[in-house]
A and B are shown apart, each in its own frame.
Chain A
Amino acid sequence: MTHPEPETTPVLALEGVSKSFGAVRALRGVSLRLYAGEAHALAGENGAGKSTLIKALAGVHRPDTGTVLLDGEPVEFHGPADARDAGVAVIYQEPTLFPDLSVAENIFMGRQPRRALGRVDHASVRRATADLFARLGVDLDPDQPARGLSIADQQLVEIAKALSFDARVLIMDEPTAALTGSEVARLFGVVRTLREQGAAVLFISHRLEEIFQLCQRVTTLRDGAWIASEPLDGLTEDDLVRRMVGRDLAELYPKQDTRTGEVALSVRRLTREGVFTDVSFDVRRGEIVGLAGLVGAGRSEVARAVFGVDRFDGGEVEVLGTRLKPGAPSLAMAAGLALVPEDRRAQGLVMDMSIERNIGLTGFADTTRAGLMNRKAERSRSVDWAVRLQVKYARLGDVVGTLSGGNQQKVVLAKWLATAPQVLIVDEPTRGIDVGTKAEVHRLLSALAAEGVAVLMISSDLPEILGMADRVLVMHEGRLSAELTRAEATEESVMAAATGRTNQGSAA
């Protein structure tokens, strides 16, 4: 079945839209048309301008030139509220929740059902939220505050919020980046239903297979410029990549064979009450160990406890024979450990500081002479890594918060790789990273392992785990439920262990 461009008027469209931030031209004359009943994908590398385009559609940014058309009529959105009132629901790339408010209030803020005299009907807010969660198959408590939700749960709340609008246009900026397969499946089910009911959908993801699963049409951006808008039928992933990158792509999971050495990271019976229990495993030099599991299984928590940003209640951690003091990241770093955290905005980066300073934060030992900062050393260390990871930036002194999501992720990687760690824990290292760079990151991790670094990779992207890991650990509800060799690890076996439907493979 082909999808020629429908003859009807697009529900929402952009014509010749440009947007600059200072010297950065994020969008240059881009056009895009969203039709009722069609799911449209937006593809492009990190920093290509996808999020900016969405913000122009949603009334967050005012385009410098060009127009936004609603039902064929030019409109001017003066703010997100205008777009919302016009029936446009948006899931932004970074979850934006009210941490102090309950999940239910987060979803219905400003639109709460009301009783007599305009009073908010708290009970029906709660009920409606519970219904939404049921539809999405999420088991969050509507009364729970948003503070402390994992990135994935936050993303789910955002999705619920967008669905609650019953919008004519649903825009989703990488909603699946933090989700595992099952949640993605649920989400797609719901979105398909909406589309069939006549909603227009705009969808961004760096997981190309998702684009092919969900969408009928794709628009590609490169460096802020429009490249193509076309039906997905008849297109291959390679075609799409070529449109995005302008060249063919290296192998996505370039796994090098390495010789594993001595145990570099040893975790014994680690327990943090209420979060994870009795977790033991080893990672050897030269080995990439994958840590898989469903959202909320407690993988990130284990990583944080190992690194020392969280305390643990029992057990011990050894790095290269040195026993780590609980709750002391600086000592862990000194012992050769590095952690690339999952939440780059809150944990990975100081958003208001420059790229240079952010990378520099982990390297004081290398960049001080006689107790004073050596600016030159600091600068060259940062440039070195920013270039190696192909961070797309105008100046090294730019505030990191102005980078695109994927480039921010690269800065986090740079910051930690620059410490030359012996043991590297990466938590969702490629979340929000485009295919090109993803391959780059994978090659890098492989090379590091080949050099004898022990790598523990937490990822919700199952193909990534299967493609990269020498060994796969699976967590289920705070416990290790399986340890699988590369040969044993398949999608089925990992999912089975992750959902607790397993007896195969024993906990380490």
Chain B
Amino acid sequence: MTVTATPVREEAVPEPAAGRRLIDKVFKARELAVAAVLLVMLGATQLSNTEFLSEQGIKDLLLNATILVLVATGQAVVVITRNVDLSVGSVLGISAFAAGTYLQDGGSSLIAILLAVALGALFGALNGALVSLGKVPALVVTLGTLYIVRGIDSIWVGSQQITADDLPNGFVDFGHDGIWVVPYLALLALAVLAAVGYYLRSYRSGREMYALGSSPEAATLAGVPVRKRIMTAYVLCGALAGLAGALYLARFGNVDSATGSGYELTVVSAVVVGGVAFTGGSGSVYGAALGALLLTSINSVLPAIGVSSVWVTAINGILLLLAIAVDRILALRVAAVLRKQAAQLRSARHA
């Protein structure tokens, strides 16, 4: 066939106004929906109970969120690579106990924290190895390690427990002190969050995690070192679960063989609410952190406005559903609006 036609698409699409583009972006940002829900909720609670956002209240909110934020950050990274780590609760538990045992014998706080992080990273590496080398479904593998680590933990811990009495005072104080209303633990979590977020956004290897989650085949063809990236994600997730374990110890001053059991569901909820898709490749750790903040805040809001604890579970579930449903409906609306805009643009060009 002889091609005589001149190239067709020479008339460039008019560059959309920068302002509109910004608005689109803002509307598309799922994090915003979560943040809005959070603010409305906190505001409303403050109106009905002025104690809620008192100095102590804010401190409590931040402290409560800290541990979940850390674990959710790690989980989000794993989920972005289209995997999942269900063993985080077990890893948190065993790392907390390890740190506690070390401190009980008179160790230093810093080394205890590092120990917990290292132990967590070790279990993360185990998960990562099983998932990436075996190329097997992460859900099953980490459900397996959830049981295995919990089992090892209960055999090791037995009926022992670490109580505040066993811990150095400095460590326990670190668990609740802070600078004005911002506890040290929250500062630490924030720093970790920012670092991980920045890494994912601004480094090749971080971008490759998104690529990998978005399409594993395409990632292989693009030369992304798939195993290495999955490994990194799991090690990071494990390490953060370990860190969270150490902070749990500082915060609650108490660890036994059941510490952290069932935590995986809370973490997964936080990640989901925060808009990180389980199909991989989308969402951000900031979203996951906001999700974590939202979930823990609900648990503080309900008692604070005097809702009987009998209702808490139900309201929790319904709010979770509302959060994801509203987010989804907003997204659909925005998509429809954008489609209409495109139509107008096109017919304007057509005319």
A residues sitting closer than 8 Å to B (CB atoms) are: 60, 79-81, 84-85, 90, 92, 96-101, 105, 109-110, 112, 114, 118-120, 137-139, 141, 181-182, 184-186, 207, 209, 273-275, 277, 294, 462-463, 477-479, 491-492, 495, 498-500
Contacts and interface: CB of A to CB of B under 8 A. Distances in A.
A22 B213 CA distance: 30
Given A80-B220, A81-B225, A110-B223, 15 more contacts: A96-B215, A96-B218, A98-B210, A98-B281, A101-B281, A105-B210, A105-B211, A110-B208, A137-B9, A138-B9, A181-B3, A182-B8, A274-B339, A478-B346, A491-B1
B8 A499 contact: yes
Contacts of A492: 4
A186 B13 CA distance: 19
B204 A118 contact: yes
Contacts of A109: 207-208, 211, 219, 222, 224
Contacts of A491: 1-2, 4
Contacts of B329: none
A139 B10 CA distance: 8
Interface residues of B, number: 45
Given A112-B207, A185-B3, A274 B223 contact: no
Interface string B262-293: 00000000000000010011100000000000
B7 A137 contact: yes
Given A80-B222, A100-B210, A462-B1, A114 B204 contact: yes
Interface centre among B214, B220, B225, B341 (most CB of A within 10 A): B214
Nearest to A119: B202
Interface centre among A81, A114, A274 (most CB of B within 10 A): A274
A114 B204 CA distance: 9
A182 B3 contact: yes
Contacts of B12: 139
A97 B223 CA distance: 13
A479 B350 contact: yes
B349 interface: yes
Contacts of A498: 8
A26 to B, nearest CB: 18
Interface of B: 1-10, 12-13, 201-204, 207-208, 210-211, 213-215, 217-225, 277, 280-282, 339-343, 346-347, 349-350
B215 A98 contact: yes
Contacts of B2: 491
A112 B342 CA distance: 30
Contact of B342 (A81, A110, A184, A274): A274
11 contacts: A79-B220, A79-B223, A81-B225, A97-B215, A101-B207, A120-B207, A182-B7, A186-B7, A209-B1, A273-B343, A495-B5
Contacts of A209: 1
A155 B279 CA distance: 23
A66 to B, nearest CB: 22
B342 A99 contact: no
9 A-B pairs with the lowest CB-CB distances in the bound complex, closest first? A81-B223, A100-B281, A274-B343, A274-B339, A96-B218, A98-B214, A185-B3, A100-B214, A119-B202
Given A98-B214, A101-B281, A139-B13, A110 B220 contact: no
A100 B211 CA distance: 8
Contacts of A90: 221
Contacts of B204: 110, 112, 114, 118, 120
B340 A96 contact: no
Given A120-B204, A137-B9, A184 B3 contact: yes
A96 B208 contact: no
Contacts of B8: 182, 294, 498-499
A110 B209 CA distance: 10
Contact of A96 (B217, B277, B282): B217
Contacts of A479: 350
A98 B212 CA distance: 8
B5 A110 contact: no
Given A182-B5, A273-B339, A491-B4, A80 B223 contact: yes
Nearest to B280: A100
B198 to A, nearest CB: 9
Contacts of B349: 477
Contacts of B341: 274
B282 A100 contact: yes
Contact of A98 (B3, B5, B211, B347): B211
Given A79-B220, A274-B339, A101 B350 contact: no
A101 B340 contact: no
Contacts of B343: 273-275, 277, 478
Nearest to B218: A96
Contacts of A274: 339-343, 346
Nearest to B206: A120
A110 B222 contact: yes
